[in-house]
Chains A and B, each alone.
Chain A
Amino acid sequence: MDKSEDLMVIIRHAPHNSNWLREGLDAALVAAAFGQSVRLLFMGQGALALCKEQQAGAPGQKATLPTIDMLEMYEIDQLNVPDQTLEELNIPLASLVNGVTPLSESQVKALFSQPRLIFNF
């Protein structure tokens, strides 16, 4: 397996709707802390985790943005969103945090066509 990329974590759940987002990001951060190189793919509602204007929610719903901002410190710099997701959510790339790379349909499929470890949250 290509050492330059050990793990892909797919995030498909939005902030403030469940704990999937937080616990998915935790898995990515722990893997990075263990020295694995991690790519994040935000699909569907998961792309909303990258909204740069988001904040804390109802009591007990912590803000996600501080965790997103921390990714770079863990050397997680591959943040991908399918073009299709951006279109479906009608959210411009400019509304998302810096450093997000949109992917075409075939680029998304290519991510799944080579053997790599994957967690799907």
Chain B
Amino acid sequence: MILHILTTAPLSDAARQAEQAINPGDALLLIEEAVSAALQPDLDCWKQTDYPVFLLEEDLVARGFANAASHHRLATVDIEGFVQLTEQYEQSITWY
């Protein structure tokens, strides 16, 4: 099972490539520019149920999106939670 780490905006090429690679049981972690997905609760990634999706709290806060994420009830992890995800998932792939 793979932790997919996306660093680019939700509709970027890298985001679409991550979607081609992700399998049920994997997880998707949105960091850096990808946390702008917090502003778009209608994105496919928030509607599907095959894999969990998390936003990195520190990157949300830095960009001023933390309230948007909690308003839309989107899952977040802090940097320690990021480490825990890498403990839990044997492999990770970063999409950039």
Q: How far is the CA of A45 from the CA of B12 in the complex (A)?
A: 12
Most chain B Cβ neighbours within 10 Å, of A84, A105, A109: A109
What is the number of residues of chain B that contact chain A, defined by CB distance less than 8 Å?
16
Q: Does A115 contact B (CB under 8 A)?
A: yes
Q: How far is the CB of A111 from chain B (nearest CB, A)?
A: 8
Chain A residues contacting B91 (CB-CB under 8 Å) are 115, 118
Tell me the interface secondary structure of chain B in the complex. Answer: mixed
Chain B residues contacting A43 (CB-CB under 8 Å) are 17, 20
Q: Which positions 3-59 of chain B face chain A at CB distance < 8 Å?
A: 13-14, 16-17, 20-23, 26
Q: How far is the CA of A113 from the CA of B2 in the complex (A)?
A: 8
Of the candidates A45, A82, A118, the one whose C-beta lies within 8 Å of that of B20 is A82
Contact A12 B20 (CB under 8 A): no
Chain A residues contacting B14 (CB-CB under 8 Å) are 12
Of the candidates B13, B23, B94, B96, the one whose C-beta lies within 8 Å of that of A112 is B23
Chain A residues contacting B96 (CB-CB under 8 Å) are 120
Q: Does B65 contact A (CB under 8 A)?
A: no
Q: Does A108 contact B (CB under 8 A)?
A: yes
Q: Mark A9-53, 1 if CB is under 8 A from B, else 0.
A: 010100000000000000000000000000000011100000000
Q: Mark A81-108, 1 if CB is under 8 A from B, else 0.
A: 0101000000000000000000001001
Of the candidates B21, B26, B94, the one whose C-beta lies within 8 Å of that of A108 is B21
Apart from A109-B20, A112-B26, A115-B91, list 6 A-B contacts with CB within 8 A.
A12-B13, A43-B17, A108-B20, A112-B22, A113-B23, A120-B95
Those 8 A-B pairs whose CB atoms lie nearest each other, nearest first = A112-B21, A113-B23, A43-B17, A44-B13, A120-B93, A109-B23, A108-B20, A118-B93
Q: Write the residues of chain A forming the contact surface with B, with a CB cutoff of 8 angstroms.
A: 10, 12, 43-45, 82, 84, 105, 108-109, 111-113, 115, 118, 120
